[in-house]
Amino acid sequence: MTRKMWGLIPVLNCSQLLKLCAPQCKPSVCPITTPALRADSPLRTMSDQAFVTLATNDSYAKGVMVLGQSLRNHHTTRKLVVLVGPHVAEPCRDALRSIFDEVCVVDVMDSGDAAHLSMMKRPDLGVTFTKLHCWTLTQYSKCVFMDADTLVLSNIDELFEREELSAAPDPGWPDCFNSGVFVFRPSNETHEKLLAFCSENGSFDGGDQGVLNSFFNTWATADISKHLPFIYNLSSIAIYSYLPAFKQYGHDAKVVHFLGKVKPWHHSYDAQRGEVKGHSPSPDLCQLHPDYLLMWWQLYAKSVLPLMQQAYGDTPFSSGFVEANEDEEVKLHEDAREQPAPASAPPPQISSEERKQRWEAGQIDYMGADSFANIERKLDSFLK
């Protein structure tokens, strides 16, 4: 009923929506699973606290399933909640229900700040703006939001000891927090303030991270306890930016964040060989750090794919798996619903140890003019 009503309302930005809505009208979330205790949850004493994530389409839904399963595998005692966009297919929602305590459909609202969004050239970030809706989950006293492209490596329930807004620094501009993992306290009042703030100020990066950093603008200076250790939101970029620090501190990593345009589900997986395609670091590089991407695919293959197969039945869907034939050619399993994944990156050229180490240590002249030209070639390969 509520879903149908919201279905009639076109997609509006914050400013437009605020003009239409009475003050007491808040974007609706619709639990479509019974929030009952799950039989397979060993401990459920902290039922008023939850991990919350967001799936805006079927691709991100895969990431969300892997994330949810990684939290289960590490025996979280908190509830698992996923916000899903209206375009997520019904079988996907069924699979999500197998992992999450609550699956809530949320109407997608872009930030609408087209100038900023176009600057970032990341329309998918605009969609994640929807995650501000998580503040309306007032059935929980405290929550931890985690992006669909994160993967949990150990139990992180201790995050619930932190207060709003706790987050880890963003390696790009470290006085900003990265909004891929944050502790918050659901509150309709805060949610309304956030929406008003958006409509008045927009987002400096066109996405939720800009909004949240402007709203919670004392994070960098006020309270060290609200600085989550970086190992709770370890962006894979940081491994290469400062490799010695990763080698020193990375073994304690608790959450990996696959930042960047190419996500784990954009790669493919050869289950027979246990290899991720389109990501073939040299053996030396593999020794230097655990292959988080491989861990993602192994978890997907073991725990998520069976749920997808059960939910889809005979209906074809994109598994992301590849089969190697005798001629070493690979072909993707049939992909009936989604856009094709970006072309896999070619295997790296063999190079001297010295040069690789320079690269790994971040000794790259990012400001150098020909570095731009090189990156342009890289972008060319994506944009084709």
Asked whether position 381 contacts its own copies by CB under 8 A, the answer is yes
Binder among 280, 324, 330, 332 for its own copies (CB under 8 A): 280
Biggest distance spanned by C-alpha atoms of the chain: 64
What residues between 196 and 235 interact with its own copies by CB under 8 A? 204-206, 210, 213, 220-224, 227, 229-231
Binder among 169, 180, 186, 320 for its own copies (CB under 8 A): 169
Q: How far is the CB of 153 from its own copies (least distance, A)?
A: 17
Residues with Cβ within 8 Å of residue 152, at least 6 apart in sequence: 67, 70, 71, 73, 74, 146, 254, 255
Instruction: Provide the CA 129 distance to its chain's centre, in angstroms.
Output: 12
Asked whether position 46 contacts its own copies by CB under 8 A, the answer is no
Asked whether position 384 contacts its own copies by CB under 8 A, the answer is no
Q: How far is the CB of 170 from its own copies (least distance, A)?
A: 7
Question: 335, 320, 313, 308: which is closest to 93 by C-alpha?
Answer: 308
Identify the bridge partners of residue 152 per DSSP, sorted by sequence position.
Answer: 255
What residues between 234 and 253 interact with its own copies by CB under 8 A? 236-238, 240-249
Asked whether position 260 contacts its own copies by CB under 8 A, the answer is yes
Minimum CB distance to its own copies smaller for 144 or for 293: 293
Query: Is there a contact between 128 and 56 (Cβ–Cβ < 8 Å)?
Result: yes
Q: How far is the CB of 76 from its own copies (least distance, A)?
A: 24
What residues between 321 and 360 interact with its own copies by CB under 8 A? 345-349, 351, 354-359
What residues between 120 and 139 interact with its own copies by CB under 8 A? 120-122
Per-residue mark of binding to its own copies, 288-327 (x: CB under 8 A) = -----x----------------------------------
In this structure, how many other beta carbons lie within 10 angstroms of the beta carbon of residue 350? 7
Minimum CB distance to its own copies smaller for 18 or for 330: 330
Q: How far is the CB of 67 from its own copies (least distance, A)?
A: 19
Asked whether position 287 contacts its own copies by CB under 8 A, the answer is no
Q: What is the DSSP string of 82-150?
A: EEE-TTS-HHHHHHHHHH-SEEEEE-------HHHHHHHT-HHHHHHGGGGGGGG-TTSSEEEEE-TTE
In this structure, how many other beta carbons lie within 10 angstroms of the beta carbon of residue 130? 21
Q: How far is the CB of 168 from its own copies (least distance, A)?
A: 8
Binder among 26, 172, 197, 290 for its own copies (CB under 8 A): 172
The alpha carbons of the chain give a radius of gyration, in whole angstroms, of 21
Quote the tokens at residue 78: 């908190």
What residues between 72 and 101 interact with its own copies by CB under 8 A? none
Quote the tokens at residue 343: 């072309």
Give me the sign of the Cα torsion angle 146, 148, 151, 155: positive
